[in-house]
Amino acid sequence: MDIDSAVDLLNKNEKAVLSAVSSSPKFVSEVSEGLGIDRNAVLNAARKLFAGGLVRLTGEIRISYALSELGKRYLKDGLPEQLIFDNISKSGEASYSDLAKLRLDKDELNAGIGVLRRAGSIKVTNDVIRINNADSEPIRLKNALLARIADGSTVTETDDLKDMVKRKIIEKTEIVKDRVEITQEGLKALKSPNFSRESIDKLTTESIKDWKGREFREYDIDAKPPSPLSGKRHITKTFVSIIKDALVSMGFTEMQSNYAESSFWNFDVMMFRQDHPDRDIQDTVYIGGAEAKVPRDVLGRVKSVYENGFETSRNNRSIGYMAEFDEKKSRVLIMRGHTTATTFRYIRDHISKNKDSPAKFFSVGKVFRNETPDQTHLPEFYQVEGVVYDDNLNISHLIGYIKEFYSRIGMSKIRLKPTYNPYTEPSLEVQAFSKKLNKWIEVGNSGVFRPETLHPFGLDKNLVAWGFGLDRMLMVRLGLLDIRDVYGAFADLDLLRSVETSKLFGEQ
Ligand code: PHE
């Protein structure tokens, strides 16, 4: 852009600031005072001029000193060293208990004595303090310094000054000043014939009414506006909606249950051994002070399968754990560690009550584990759970559902690996490929429920089910290295503000 057109883009404030610094560099506050315009307006104008290369902005640090409340009191009543010195001077010596009568607290007394000792003005032997050098000049200089600071005179940074800053008698502040200095381009702009051309700066009702024959300031239509910050839905919430939509479109119905759960629904019903390490305080969040209510009938049947197994046919039988089942452990109240607790509540309330109808349920909900947060773990995270009940289901159906679900949310690149679960057999771990990280990441776990877990509900058909870690899936979709970038105190706000929802759509 040539200089004349650049000048056409300047508004009144910008022109005024440029003229103000034409003969010598000035601080923003000086320009503001000189022109009678607000400091921020000057700063904005200066920044615009800077962006156009018409001025340079340089920071300069100015140090200023002022008396603290303590300093003001000392200026009036005397510094501790002064009071102590005067007191001892009267008789040439004093004891600590004599000095205790001065209106000084312990710290002030010690500071004062320390200062006088280091200056060689006094000598302390045992409890007796004597004058060593009767010259009161050093104290007089300090008083003078306090007085200079009080009346705003300039001072140099002497040892006395540093000492009094340390003792909080004097406050030191550093102020950064913005200095505006005109450039060669800026000088050319001032000389441009367009500089003094009268033009209408702002569109107002008045200026629009009376516009004929008048000139308007040009607008730079290529200028980037500042991006306003506004409220935004957290990316996780959008991901939750996408996942729910996919499952609903596959014919699933949503299930829900509470965060607080009994160990019975979280563990026992799934035949976790009662001494299973998952029940450890390290992994489970316990709620103290109350016991959970557990339905008697289901509890009795689970206990019986646990202890003695069952047999409905040669192909559907188990010997159980042949170990004692402790009902007290079932009533221990915890925060649910997986949404499979919810699945089993639905198995009792819906599936076992309509044994002849196929059923497909899902849930997306929070679960809690007593974990220290790290790159891939959070103590509180979302699980995507699904369960299917129908005739003749087997592991191929499970694989089919998992693949279909992942392809519907645009994450087709997944693989399955055999794994172990106390309540499913066979069991499959689900891994998704992260393009950004160029590696496979575990995103979930699944399987066919063991007959022992279904017998207490009178079910003998296969049920296939899964639990996926929604946050892990989010990491893959967004290419995150650290899950804490999106949650908690160290979340990356710029990322959360700028991340585009479109990242969650389409094939990843
Ligand atoms: N509950 C399992 C987990 O938390 C997931 C799962 C659900 C596995 C259902 C098998 C069947 O990882």
Q: Encode pLDDT of 4-32 as tens digits.
A: 888 988 988 999 999 999 999 999 989 99
The mean-pLDDT minimum among 156-170, 204-218, 268-282, 366-380 falls in 204-218
Which atom in ligand 1 lies closest to the alpha carbon of residue 449? 11
Enter the tokens of residue 364: 């997306």
Give nearest CA residue, ligand 1 atom 9: 466
Residue 59's pLDDT is what?
82
347 CA to centre of ligand 1 in angstroms:
15
* Residues in CB range of 286: below 8 A, 6 or more apart: 332, 333, 334, 335
Enter the tokens of residue 184: 């060669």
What is the average pLDDT across 119-138?
A: 88
Average pLDDT, the chain: 92
345 CA to centre of ligand 1 in angstroms:
15
Q: Cβ–Cβ contacts within 10 Å for residue 448, how many? A: 21
40 CA to centre of ligand 1 in angstroms:
58
Which atom in ligand 1 lies closest to the alpha carbon of residue 383? 4
Which atom in ligand 1 lies closest to the alpha carbon of residue 447? 10
Q: What is the pLDDT of residues 437-475, one digit of tens each?
A: 899 999 999 999 999 999 999 999 999 999 999 999 999
Helix (H) or strand (E) holding 427: strand 424-434
The mean-pLDDT minimum among 36-40, 318-322, 430-434 falls in 36-40
453 CA to centre of ligand 1 in angstroms:
13
- CB < 8 Å & 24+ apart, contacts of 208-217: 217/8, 217/9, 217/10, 217/11
307 CA to centre of ligand 1 in angstroms:
24
- Concatenate the DSSP letters of all residues of 296-324 into one string: HHHHHHHHHHHHH-EEEETTEEE----S-
Residue 56's pLDDT is what?
94
Q: What is the pLDDT of residues 32-47, one digit of tens each?
A: 999 999 988 999 999 9
Q: Cβ–Cβ contacts within 10 Å for residue 280, how many? A: 10
Has residue 435 got a pLDDT over 90? no
What is the average pLDDT across 490-499?
A: 92
What is the average pLDDT across 57-61?
A: 83
Ligand 1 pocket test, candidate residues 446, 453, 471, 472, most atoms within 8 A of CB: 446
Tell me the C-alpha distance between 112 and 82, whole Å.
8
Give nearest CA residue, ligand 1 atom 4: 338
What is the average pLDDT across 389-411?
A: 97
* Residues in CB range of 191: below 8 A, 6 or more apart: none
Ligand 1 pocket test, candidate residues 257, 266, 338, 442, most atoms within 8 A of CB: 338
468 CA to centre of ligand 1 in angstroms:
7
In three-state secondary structure terms, 428 is strand
- Higher per-residue confidence, 466 vs 289: 466
Q: 75 pLDDT band (50/70/90 cuts)?
A: very high
Ligand 1 pocket test, candidate residues 381, 429, 466, most atoms within 8 A of CB: 466
- Pairing state of beta strands 253-254 and 359-368? parallel
137-141, 230-234, 302-306: range with highest mean pLDDT: 302-306
Beta bridge partners of 367: 381
Ligand 1 pocket test, candidate residues 265, 269, 334, 445, most atoms within 8 A of CB: 445
Global pTM exceeds 0.75: no
What is the average pLDDT across 46-61?
A: 89
Residue 282's pLDDT is what?
75
Tell me the C-alpha distance between 292 and 332, whole Å.
6
What is the average pLDDT across 480-504?
A: 92
31 CA to centre of ligand 1 in angstroms:
68
- Concatenate the DSSP letters of all residues of 31-83 into one string: HHHHHT--HHHHHHHHHHHHHTTSEEEEEEEEEEEEE-HHHHHHHHH--HHHH
Residue 401's pLDDT is what?
98
Q: Cβ–Cβ contacts within 10 Å for residue 177, how many? A: 13
Enter the DSSP assignment of 136: -
Enter the DSSP assignment of 169: S
Tell me the C-alpha distance between 333 and 287, whole Å.
5
* Ligand 1, residues at Cβ distance < 6 Å: 338, 340, 421, 424, 445-447, 465-467
Tell me the C-alpha distance between 181 and 24, whole Å.
7
**Greatest CA separation for the chain:** 111
* Phi, psi (degrees; rounded to nearest 5) at 106: -60, -45
Which atom in ligand 1 lies closest to the alpha carbon of residue 367? 4
Has residue 267 got a pLDDT over 90? yes
Tell me the C-alpha distance between 305 and 449, whole Å.
15
Helix (H) or strand (E) holding 496: helix 493-498
Tell me the C-alpha distance between 484 and 399, whole Å.
31
Residue 338's pLDDT is what?
96
Residue 174's pLDDT is what?
83
* Residues in CB range of 424: below 8 A, 6 or more apart: 446, 447, 448, 449, 450, 465
Q: What is the pLDDT of residues 185-244, one digit of tens each?
A: 999 999 999 898 878 878 888 888 888 888 888 887 887 887 788 889 999 999 999 999
Closest CA to 460 of 449, 468, 451: 451
* Residues in CB range of 206: below 8 A, 6 or more apart: none
Tell me the C-alpha distance between 337 and 370, whole Å.
9
